[in-house]
DNA sequence: ACCTGAACACCGTTCAAGT
DNA sequence: ACCTGAACACCGTTCAAGT
């Protein structure tokens, strides 16, 4: 994870990891089947941390705009650990299912959203005629898209000043909460 | 692009490209500065195609739910060309600005959304007290997040049956259009 | 202007061998 | 159970040399 943070995905190779650990370049194969297995373990750890930060955001928000807090936390995580975020969501191409514990960890991030939606549905601040999981997926898509586009510098007009990013998070949360159609 | 489609990003190496083209493995350096430059060219071509499909979707929609059509087109593109989509949005890490024509191409995809928002604002179907570009960015985030999460198999409860995906696209468009707060 | 072949530094992975 | 060193196949890139 240090290598990932320092030099991005390109800097993360098994031999460098072994060097950093002070062992021979074949030692890692005693602990991981192959490079993908190491990446899966790293991604899993990433999901654990992301889930914790989302959970924290919901808790600290109390009854006031939990979704805004979660969105902020999600974007903040992505911008703080861009290489990790990329590895979590696109490192292992297709066989995510081949790493069950990784799959579990990634589901826990969604679970935070589902729980908040259920709470808001009970409170009446979110529509009740739609499944909570489905609504959570919509929220996740919104947050994820925003985080990834910012991370990949695809919103140059937003830039990287915290205040501009904060405004963009607000707009996205407002967009999905209030809708862009006139009320 | 053939290699990308067949075997994903891992299968795309310069020597293989050269082999496929029937030249020596150093010949590509006469046409591209390095591997990143080739990837940039591929990503650029990807944005051109994505923009065309989004534009087509808006046009064919006429006055009926253009946003739903664009969302569908965006998701469809991502699921049809997953490796290309990944390369377009996360291949070259940070220095996207180092490839001006790539940057231009990626802006043209957003422009399709901006134009539709402006049209809908004039028609009164989208709120007018917010900048069109900002609203387009919100829509883009929604579509992009949905497409990437589906592409990376992060929504296993949705699966890959076209009808389930279609439903999810509908929910996301409805979410950002109507809002998830009761009206 | 475009291509080639040798060469270099590097990586993922395997394997026989050690404690 | 964990580690090592040699070895193999492979890649990105450079360079002198060719047409």
Residue A18: count of CB within 10 angstroms of its CB: 16
Whether A101 contacts A59, CB under 8 Å: no
Judged against a pLDDT cut of 80, whether residue B37 lies above it is answered with yes
Put simply, the answer to whether A152 touches B96 (Cβ < 8 Å) is: yes
Q: Is A29 near strand C, with its CB below 7 A from some atom of it?
A: yes
Q: Using CA atoms, how far apart are residues A51 and A55, in angstroms rounded to an integer?
A: 6
- Region B16-45: what's the mean pLDDT? 94
Put simply, the answer to whether A142 touches B145 (Cβ < 8 Å) is: yes
Closest residue of A to B141, CA-based? A145
Task: Estimate in Å the CA B25 to C1' C13 gap, whole number.
Answer: 24
Put simply, the answer to whether A178 touches B179 (Cβ < 8 Å) is: yes
CA-to-CA separations, A70 to A65, A110, A121, A134, in angstroms, rounded: 9, 11, 17, 17
- Region B11-17: what's the mean pLDDT? 93
pLDDT in tens, B77-134: 999 999 999 999 975 656 777 899 999 999 999 999 999 999 999 999 999 999 999 9
Residues 6+ apart with CB under 8 A from A181: B125, B126, B127, B177, B178, B179
Residue with tokens 């955001």: A57
Put simply, the answer to whether A172 touches B148 (Cβ < 8 Å) is: no
- Region B33-60: what's the mean pLDDT? 95
Whether A69 contacts A173, CB under 8 Å: no
Q: Which residues in chain A are closer than 8 Å to B90, comparing Cβ atoms?
A: 86, 90, 148, 152
CA-to-CA separations, B13 to B3, B10, B19, B25, B39, in angstroms, rounded: 9, 7, 10, 10, 10
pLDDT value, residue B92: 66
**Range of weakest confidence among A109-118, B60-69, B139-148:** B60-69
Closest residue of B to A176, CA-based? B176
How many Cα atoms occupy the beta-carbon half-sphere of A4 within 13 Å? 18
Q: Using CA atoms, how far apart are residues A166 and A150, in angstroms rounded to an integer?
A: 11
pLDDT value, residue B44: 95
pLDDT value, residue A93: 59
Put simply, the answer to whether A180 touches B139 (Cβ < 8 Å) is: yes
Which residues 11-30 on B are within 7 A of strand C at the CB atom? Answer: 23-27, 29-30
**DSSP type of residue B23:** S
Nucleotide with the nearest C1' to B27 CA? C3
Mean pLDDT by 10 residues, chain A (183 residues): 89 93 94 94 96 96 89 98 92 73 94 97 96 98 98 91 97 97 92
Task: Estimate in Å the CA A38 to C1' D10 gap, whole number.
Answer: 21
Q: Which of A147, A172, A181 sits opposite B126 (nearest CB)?
A: A181
pTM (2 d.p.) = 0.95
pLDDT value, residue A9: 87
């Amino acid at each position: 994870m240090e290598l990932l943070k320092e030099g991005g995905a390109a800097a993360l190779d098994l031999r460098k990891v072994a060097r950093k650990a002070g062992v021979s370049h074949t030692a890692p194969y005693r602990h991981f089947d192959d490079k993908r297995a190491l990446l899966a373990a790293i991604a899993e750890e990433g999901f654990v941390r992301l889930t914790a930060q989302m959970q924290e955001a919901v808790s600290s928000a109390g009854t006031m705009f939990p979704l805004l807090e979660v969105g902020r936390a999600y974007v903040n995580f992505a911008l703080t650990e861009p290489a990790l975020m990329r590895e979590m969501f696109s490192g292992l191409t297709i066989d995510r299912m081949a790493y069950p514990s990784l799959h579990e960890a990634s589901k826990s991030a969604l679970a935070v959203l589902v729980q908040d939606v259920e709470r808001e549905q009970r409170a009446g601040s979110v529509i009740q005629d739609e499944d909570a999981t489905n609504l959570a997926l919509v929220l996740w898509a919104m947050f994820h898209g925003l985080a990834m586009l910012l991370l990949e510098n695809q919103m140059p007009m937003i830039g990287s000043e915290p205040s501009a990013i904060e405004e963009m998070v607000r707009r996205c949360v407002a967009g999905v909460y209030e809708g862009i159609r006139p009320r």
